[in-house]
Chain A
Amino acid sequence: MNEPAPAERIAIRTHNDIVTARHAAREHSARLGFGRAYQTRLATAVSELTRNVIQYAGEGSCLIEGQNDADGCSIQVTVEDHGPGIPDLALALADGFSTSGGLGAGLPGTRRLVDHFQISSEPGLTRVVIRIRKAR
């Protein structure tokens, strides 16, 4: 079985970092043997989350961890920022809601793209943890 790449933390400061982060996410998932559809889903999800970081918080970080266990493998991505936070999480997770004139599909769409989605937000710390999983 393929060994996961060591955990990787990417600072998110500019638009280029979005590309770096999603590229890394794709590489990590490819290395663990995820198919192209999985890779694209994870890379897109990372792209959405890191773009949110740039757009709403200015800067943050993205941690990518691969894991291999007895009955499968998974990739977990943690995206964090120290921005103003999301005042109403339920609203932010609703389809079609956007405070920035976007499509309003970013967060709810990302949630649908991945197998596990967890978000917590308060002023000064917003953290989103996503995971995709593949059974052996």
Chain B
Amino acid sequence: MTQSLAQVLHSHQDALLEQWLRDLSEASADVGFAPVHPELIEPLRKLFPAIIAQLGQAPDAAVSPQSSPASPASASESAQPAASSEQRAALDAQLQQLIAEQARLQRNLSDTLGFLLHLKHLLLKALLSAADQAVEERAILWLDQYFEQIAQQTLEHALAQRDRYISEQSLSIMELSTPVLRLWHQILLLPLVGVIDTGRARQITDHLLEAIAKYEARVTVIDLTGVPIIDTSVAQHIMKTIDAARLLGSRVVLTGISPEGAQTLTKLGIRFGDVISRASLRAGIAEALLITGKRIAAMEAGTR
């Protein structure tokens, strides 16, 4: 007689789970996935019953015997109603948690897929050995389809997760504020970091001009150490910022242009004209103090 998938699953459930988790922990190089991270065991353990519950709903009506293995697409469409939407949701939640954990632990998605496919392998083996005579063809087909569907869901979750991550990151980069720091009386420091496009350039200029007016700054130190590439567009934005600062009566000291950057700028034919420029922020601050008639001096021995 043939044994149904549900029966096999039910009777071997615990042993299967233990073997699965043990195999994952002791994975060797030839199985196609790295050993599982200890913190992933728990979500995998929770995922297991969800999978089993759905698999247990053998697709008696869903996969008709006539449907040939060559048309898995139409078969899987008809197989889907077999799993109740409640169970689907439960599985979805577990998968999502697994993916989130995997992302947090910075593990590979391919490993996670490998874990799931290994479970399919174990289930198939259990099914084949339990039903020592004829295994129901549709049970195998169903198992296959089901895991295809899980793999697909896993991928979708992983992609969604990544998309979220990327948009969060770009948001936080956009929000990198451009602080205008008050370095000393009448001296401002504007450290520029990252990509300077038209939008950010305008924001930077706004902030700076506001601060210059507020603090009656006589010198502004603009530090470019964190600007990776200074091309003509960036240079133009910086020049406009400098011009605007000058109109408000603040002199500008540029600092932090790298040797390569300087070479590139001259090759490009960009001149910063009569802007004071210093190689390091330290030299720039010294210059700013000089302009305002201040200096940093060691404390006298008696006052220490």
Contact = CB atoms under 8 A, between A and B. Distances in A.
A51 B233 contact: yes
Contact of A47 (B229, B236, B263, B270): B229
Interface residues of A, number: 24
The prevalent SS among residues of B at the interface is helix
B269 A109 contact: yes
Interface residues of B, number: 21
A1 interface: no
A106 interface: yes
19 contacts: A15-B197, A16-B170, A37-B259, A37-B260, A40-B229, A40-B261, A44-B229, A44-B231, A44-B268, A47-B231, A48-B231, A48-B268, A102-B232, A105-B232, A105-B270, A106-B232, A109-B232, A112-B268, A113-B268
Contacts of A41: 260, 263-264, 267
B269 A105 contact: yes
The prevalent SS among residues of A at the interface is helix
Contacts of A51: 231, 233
B109 interface: no
Nearest to A51: B233
A43 B235 contact: no
Nearest to A42: B264
Nearest to B197: A15
Interface string B203-235: 000000000000000000000000011111101
Contacts, number: 65
A36 interface: yes
Contacts of A16: 170
Interface of A: 15-16, 19, 22, 36-37, 39-41, 43-44, 47-48, 51, 95, 102-103, 105-106, 108-110, 112-113
10 shortest interchain CB distances as A-B pairs: A109-B268, A40-B260, A47-B231, A37-B260, A112-B267, A105-B269, A105-B232, A103-B232, A109-B269, A44-B264
B195 interface: yes
Interface of B: 170, 195, 197, 228-233, 235-236, 258-261, 263-264, 267-270
A13 B96 CA distance: 32
Contacts of A95: 269
Given A15-B197, A36-B260, A47-B229, A103 B267 contact: no
Given A39-B260, A47-B233, A109-B267, 10 more contacts: A16-B170, A19-B195, A47-B231, A48-B268, A103-B235, A103-B236, A106-B232, A109-B232, A109-B268, A112-B269
Contacts of A44: 229-231, 264, 268
A23 B231 CA distance: 14
Contacts of A102: 232-233, 236
B197 A113 contact: no
A51 B236 CA distance: 13
Nearest to B170: A16
A105 B267 CA distance: 10
B119 to A, nearest CB: 35
A128 to B, nearest CB: 15
Contacts of B228: 43
A108 B229 contact: no
Contacts of A40: 229, 258, 260-261, 263-264
Contacts of B269: 95, 105, 108-109, 112
Nearest to B194: A19
A114 to B, nearest CB: 9
